[in-house]
Structure 1
Amino acid sequence: MVHYDATKCHVDAEVIITTAVASTWTVAPALPLQEHRLPLSNLDLLLPPIDVGVFFCYASGNGNDDDVPSALALKAALAKVLVPYYPLAGEVVATAAGEPELLCSGRGVDFTEATAAGAELRQVRLSMPDESADKLVPAKKSGVMSVQFTKFKCGGAVVGCVFDHRVCDAYSFNMFLVAWANAARGGSSSVSPAPSFDRSFLAPRNGISSSVDTLADRLFVPVSRVPPPSTSAAPAAATEAFNRIYHVSAADVAALQAAAGPGRTKLEAFTAHLWQLYAMAADTSDRRPSCRVSMGVVVDGRSRLRPDGAMGAYFGNVLTIPYGILGAGDLRGMALADVAADVHGWVSEAASGERFRGLVEWVEAHRPEPTVARAYLGAGESDSMVCVVSSGMRLPVGEVDFGTGRPAFASYHFPWPGGAGYVMPMPSARAGSGDWVVYVHAAPELVRAMEQEPTVFRAPDGRRIFG
């Protein structure tokens, strides 16, 4: 497979892109809004103040502007869709108790137009988001969401977005993206289904439960109880983490699922494989070979809380993060099927509607103190290794068509400030391929383990994708 050296500035015909800002706008909702405050739900309050990015690349066959979205059309459609999705045009403020909540003010969304005149899309080092996505996804300075539209000299364009995770999860933002694209294609100005901000879905049952869910106590912890970091060798800091984007073929995904055993999902098989890669990485690092590896998975609870589909249009966070911890030596000696069974066990335990209701009440019992997911803290040992997998497989890449066709490539971008690894697979933009694109934020030793294995993780080739 292709191996990239992060110290090199050029690989074959690929270049490190530079962008120049042409103009910056604030796009307000097309209709006026009565200013009001919208409380965050108890499950929103589990999230720290972090931003999540995603970008979509649109290729131009003959350098024709008609082949890619225009900034004018994007802004006009954004103004329309911000009417039903008004929280994205607001800002997060603090309550008297110090908790975050939404001020729905209609301030708008910052929209930047930029150019990458010295490069073509096919030259972008897609595998190196620090050199590419960092230039294509805006850094949010204010508000809930920001957008950057970047034109390339080949005629191609990139639409990059970033949003405040406290306001919504990927499921919610996917709804917005589809509505935005539909508006750009000239679709109805009324969104169907309309997003729901009904916080009663996530209200505690009759106040605080008399017996707070013990699983919630195992999965989350008030910040006051988080142990201080060890003064000895600590896990890799965020500044030391590598950010990568990989392509995974449908054949490799299917092979992993088959090896994981009957009844295992693709994500469970992938998570089990990644968990074992962490164990291999421990052998090549300064950590003890017997160190422990913590692996978490982000689980959506909409269908668990309401199997009748009533939360299908709910906008906000409906997430929990179960995790497991195994010794690196144990992981290396286990069959993939056994590791996948372990993943399935702790994911299933946390994924029921009753567990989500218990988590809502657990948060209520600890408010207003903020909390943190234990999955990000690992085994509590200085040399433990930590990773969380968050599935982006529901991202409707083909539906993010702003009137000029589906994107040629898309990926999440989440170089978050935490010390834990973060891995997010999503469907490839290539229609019907079954391939995955995987965003990775992880310690250097894990990235090396990924790139040294003969299959699964490969660098995406911009020359093949964009021609």
Structure 2
Amino acid sequence: MSSEIKVEVLQKETITPSSPTPPHLENLSLSVFDQLQPEFYVPLLLFYPNNRDGSNVDHQSLAAERSNLLKTSLSTTLTHFYPFAGKFEYNVSISCNDHGAAFLQAQVNCPISKVLEKPDHEVLKQLLPADIASTQEIAGHLLLVQANFFECGGMAIGVNISHKVGDAFTFSKFINSWAAISLGSSASDHIVVPAVEFGVVASICPPLDFFNSGLPIAEFAKGKSVTERLVFEASKIDALKAKAASSTVPNPTRVEVVSALIWKCATEASRSNSGYVRPSIWCQVVDMRKRSGQPLTENALGNFVWFFASMTMESEVDLQSLVSKLRKGIEEFEDKYPNGVSPQDVCQTIQESGNLMTKDGIDNYSCSSWCRFPFYEANFGWGKPSWVSICTMPAKNTIQLTDTSDGKGIEVSLALKEDDMAIISSNEELLAYASLDPAAV
């Protein structure tokens, strides 16, 4: 299908903040958490079917109208999210110089339903303005937007943001602030996050000179991988919770049970292909904002995430035991860091986990959950998105979780080695709870 669908970029321009960034905000120091993020572009796609009645709508005029609204509101939003319009000074700071964000307008030669009926990774990548694995030197901007207009009048907004300026929490704040400004609303206090929220994390977790080298601090696991999309509906998650519940964890969460099942299936596939029992480590990203012991960090922008790791070495992996390991992992994390993670803690964790995770014969899986971030609330003026996709990251053994549109199910983007994925994609236990690459309509 990807060869039949063509995405043609018609215009490309730079959108600068509507007001200049004040001199005292022109240099934003990175935090140690910013320093440690790989230099890649986080992807997001928001799909909006045409919600206008009648066949007499001029789709070309509609596209121009919406494109202009997006550009104008983006310019206003950048005055509040000013680092997004800046330039990254390698692992030291962001120069908030109003360099601007890239804005592309593209035309897609099919109705939006053709993409949504059978999402194709190669097509989805065309709807994004930058390759995920780009650096700032290649992409040219820290923030890039591509407004894609379909023949039917539907549209998809593709956004790439450098991970160096923010995590999923920050991305969500930006998208919803931009949408609210576009919609023309000012009734909610979450519409514009105060500019002072940038730099909070760096003030309590300052950067370390140790990480200021010209070489990447963190890189993705190399190796050929394939990506599949799995969707767990709410009713299936309820059934999975019942199966995964135990006296240790009588009330597992959505994320715990889905993560445990993915971990179980991936471990079994890897062991089947290798022919022996391999230790398996699950690294779960943790949002530190409500775990820092300081209320001023609850709305801090930038990167403020860390992780905990759980391991299994058992010859037989059991769903209940894996859920227990995940629950124990977060509880031990919170006990160990009651006042948040310090730069010294970061260094110690890197040393300890690095030694373990680089050993041969150990499988490492990295999971990030975007569940409960309100991307499905992003109404720019033509309704809420029908589907939100975070596509895939350029790394093997990575798992990303997002909400389904009803906020109760979970969508999984799973990247694994090709031979492991071949086993997982036909795993009967997994397919009893998840749909493999269903329609997004």
TM range (shorter): 0.7 to 0.9
Q: Which residue of 2 aligns with 1:434?
A: 408
In structure 2, what is the Cα distance between the partners aligned to 1:207 and 1:111? 31
Give 1:459 deviation, angstroms. Answer: 3.7
Give 1:399's match in structure 2, choosing from 366, 373, 377: 377
In structure 2, what is the Cα distance between the partners aligned to 1:17 and 1:252? 33
Structure 2 letter corresponding to 1:445: D
Q: Which residue of 2 aligns with 1:231?
A: none
Q: Which residue of 2 aligns with 1:232?
A: none
Which segments of 5 or more consecutive residues in structure 1 lack a partner in the other structure?
Answer: 1-9, 209-219, 227-234
Q: Which residue of 1 aligns with 2:344?
A: 361
Structure 1 letter corresponding to 2:308: P
Q: Which residue of 1 aligns with 2:197?
A: 197
Q: Which residue of 2 aligns with 1:59?
A: 49
In structure 1, what is the Cα distance between the partners aligned to 2:341 and 2:412? 32
Q: Which residue of 2 aligns with 1:344?
A: 327
Give 1:47 deviation, angstroms. Answer: 1.2
Do the aligned partners of residues 27 and 198 (structure 1) sit closer, same or farther apart at CA in structure 2, a change above 3 Å counting?
closer
Give 1:148's match in structure 2, choosing from 143, 146, 149: 146
Does the 8 A contact of 2:206 with 2:343 survive in 1? no
Does the 8 A contact of 1:350 with 1:356 survive in 2? no
Do the aligned partners of residues 415 and 18 (structure 1) sit closer, same or farther apart at CA in structure 2, a change above 3 Å counting?
farther
Q: Which residue of 2 aligns with 1:5?
A: none
Do the aligned partners of residues 207 and 185 (structure 1) sit closer, same or farther apart at CA in structure 2, a change above 3 Å counting?
closer
Does the 8 A contact of 2:264 with 2:318 survive in 1? no
In structure 2, what is the Cα distance between the partners aligned to 1:293 and 1:22? 47
Structure 1 letter corresponding to 2:123: S
In structure 1, what is the Cα distance between the partners aligned to 2:144 and 2:293? 31
In structure 1, what is the Cα distance between the partners aligned to 2:351 and 2:162? 18
In structure 2, what is the Cα distance between the partners aligned to 1:15 and 1:203? 49
Q: Which residue of 1 aligns with 2:368?
A: 390
1:402-424, CA deviations, whole angstroms, 9 ceiling, x for partnerless residues? Answer: 111011111112322x4x41111
Q: Tell me, what secondary structure is at the counterpart of 2:166?
A: coil
Structure 2 letter corresponding to 1:443: K
In structure 2, what is the Cα distance between the partners aligned to 1:401 and 1:207? 36
Q: Which residue of 2 aligns with 1:457?
A: 434
Percent identical across equivalent pairs? 20
In structure 2, what is the Cα distance between the partners aligned to 1:128 and 1:237? 25
In structure 1, what is the Cα distance between the partners aligned to 2:256 and 2:294? 22
Do the aligned partners of residues 26 and 460 (structure 1) sit closer, same or farther apart at CA in structure 2, a change above 3 Å counting?
same
Q: Which residue of 2 aligns with 1:412?
A: 390
In structure 1, what is the Cα distance between the partners aligned to 2:75 and 2:214? 39
Does the 8 A contact of 1:60 with 1:154 survive in 2? yes
1:173-222, CA deviations, whole angstroms, 9 ceiling, x for partnerless residues? Answer: 100111000011012399444254354555459999xxxxxxxxxxx9x9
Do the aligned partners of residues 236 and 193 (structure 1) sit closer, same or farther apart at CA in structure 2, a change above 3 Å counting?
closer
Structure 1 letter corresponding to 2:83: P
1:272-306, CA deviations, whole angstroms, 9 ceiling, x for partnerless residues? Answer: 11111112212442x23212222110000111114
Q: Which residue of 2 aligns with 1:183?
A: 181
Pairing 1:74–2:70 present: yes
Give 1:25 deviation, angstroms. Answer: 0.9
TM-score (norm 1): 0.78
Q: Tell me, what secondary structure is at the counterpart of 1:253?
A: helix
Pairing 1:162–2:125 present: no
Do the aligned partners of residues 376 and 186 (structure 1) sit closer, same or farther apart at CA in structure 2, a change above 3 Å counting?
farther
Give 1:42's match in structure 2, choosing from 6, 13, 32: 32
Map 1:23-422; keep pairs closer than 5 Å: 23-34=11-22, 36-61=26-51, 64=57, 65=59, 70-94=66-90, 99-117=91-109, 119-124=110-115, 129-139=120-130, 141-188=139-186, 191-197=191-197, 199-201=199-201, 203=203, 237-238=222-223, 240-261=224-245, 262-285=250-273, 287-306=274-293, 308=295, 310-327=296-313, 330=315, 333-351=316-334, 354=337, 357-363=340-346, 379-416=357-394, 418=395, 420-422=396-398
Give 1:143 deviation, angstroms. Answer: 2.1
Does the 8 A contact of 2:108 with 2:150 survive in 1? yes
Structure 1 letter corresponding to 2:67: A
Q: Which residue of 2 aligns with 1:19?
A: 7
In structure 1, what is the Cα distance between the partners aligned to 2:413 and 2:12? 28
In structure 2, what is the Cα distance between the partners aligned to 1:51 and 1:152? 24
Structure 2 letter corresponding to 1:123: K
Give 1:377 deviation, angstroms. Answer: 8.0
Does the 8 A contact of 1:127 with 1:245 survive in 2? no
What is the count of residue pairs matched by the alignment? 411
Do the aligned partners of residues 152 and 207 (structure 1) sit closer, same or farther apart at CA in structure 2, a change above 3 Å counting?
closer
In structure 2, what is the Cα distance between the partners aligned to 1:223 and 1:90? 19
